[in-house]
Amino acid sequence: MIAKETIIEAFKEQFNQQPTIVVKSPGRINIIGEHTDYNQGFVMPAAIDQYIYVAVSARNDNELHLYSADYKENYQTALNQDLSNAPDWSKYIIGVSEIIQAKTSKINGFNAYVVGDVPLGAGLSSSAAFSSAIGFALNELFQIGLSRVDLAKIGQQTEHDYVGVKCGIMDQFASIMGKDNHAIQLDCRDLSFDYVPLDWENYEILLLNTNVKHNLASSAYNDRRASCEQAVNWIKEQYSSVESLRDVTVEQLEEFVLPKSQDVYTKSRFVVEENDRVTKSNIALKNHEFDALGRLLFEAHWALSKQYEVSCDELDFLIENVQEIPEVIGARMMGGGFGGCTINIIKKGNRDQVIEKITPLYKAKFGFEPTALKVSIGNGTSFVD
């Protein structure tokens, strides 16, 4: 947690004035439902108690004066300028600003200061927290009147059009709509959702960061999405009502996709089966069947690794070894893949014991340690008190 006074002082140092608004937007975990969001499927994310903070003030001109404390970098521009030399972090601010401006014509010049404590590249969706925070801040600064769901969609569009990642809506939705001690059972087709109470009592969440950084834009993320779309197109030739893998059965994949491509079949089958795991996990949580939930998490990990092929040696090593620890009831890789964190559901009070068991094994294998992160489930985007 970064104190509001600290952010205000840093803002004044950069811009010689007080910020008008200071907001925070959380990172997120995803209990289960990976790579289903961009296939109109089901997911179960939750907001966490680590944030991206944005402080803003209006300017008297049309310029955007931006500063990232994490990158220790200034950038000045205006709307609708060439972005070829813009730092990557600035594209989230510029993208959100230009999309809101195109929709409402209400954005003017502003100063923005950004700082965060969401680990970058850990699969905790720091980028979605960033776009949600800037959208919320500008919406308030210029009194635009956009809804939270509008802001989630704008964050997603920013990733698509300005960053080059064809992400689903889950990360932005979780960041902006999160609720304390609840997960969100989200239908990514129509954005209907339920808050699912996380009555852990005897359990807690431990994240283990592989400390392998990943960049979704340069990874195979977009290739996976293309495979899913290809499967849908092949089935759509026979069933015109099919819109996404959400509408598809394993039998249809076997009949219409497998004969054309083993690879496309394997990856699309993962999505169909992952949707089923989310539904079963929701039931398990509501019935307090935590062992069943844990088994589903382990199953999901190995499907992500072997079917969808978005894991890596470090992630697989962590899961393989925590499966041998009785205090861990379930675990899987989390996020887009190719690094980042594992999410582990452990019996309460055993955090240090689990870390002590896994750390030396990991270091002996890879030469460096994983980082343990304890997170709590919190509320979505809000003003900083």
- Tell me how far apart the terminal alpha carbons of the chain are, to the nearest angstrom: 11
Given the residues 49, 117, 171, 190, the one annotated as active site: 171
Q: Is 38 annotated as a binding residue?
A: no
User: Which pairing describes strands 73-78 and 382-383: parallel, antiparallel, or unpaired?
Assistant: unpaired
Q: Is 301 annotated as a binding residue?
A: no
Q: How far is CA 112 from CA 59, 125, 162, in A?
A: 10, 20, 18
Q: Is 324 annotated as a binding residue?
A: no
Q: Is 207 annotated as a binding residue?
A: no
Q: Is 63 annotated as a binding residue?
A: no
Interhelix angle for 126-141 vs 88-104, to 10°?
Answer: 40
User: Dihedral sign, CA of 241, 247, 250, 254?
Assistant: positive
Q: Is 141 annotated as a binding residue?
A: no
d(CA 200, CA 31): 13
Q: Is 122 annotated as a binding residue?
A: yes
d(CA 271, CA 239): 19
d(CA 334, CA 332): 6
199 assigned to active site: no
User: Which residue is listed with tokens 């205090």?
Assistant: 327
d(CA 315, CA 310): 10
Q: Is 124 annotated as a binding residue?
A: yes
Q: Is 36 annotated as a binding residue?
A: yes
d(CA 254, CA 258): 5
Q: Is 279 annotated as a binding residue?
A: no
Q: How far is CA 241 from CA 64, 168, 233, in A?
A: 45, 21, 11
**The tokens of 163 are what?**
């960053």
Q: Is 121 annotated as a binding residue?
A: yes
Q: Is 127 annotated as a binding residue?
A: yes
**The tokens of 82 are what?**
């060439």
Q: Which residues are annotated as a binding site for Mg(2+)?
A: 127, 159
Return the active site residues: 171
Q: Which residues are annotated as a binding site for substrate?
A: 34-37, 221
Q: Which residues are annotated as a binding site?
A: 34-37, 68, 121-127, 159, 221
Q: Which residues are annotated as a binding site for ATP?
A: 68, 121-127
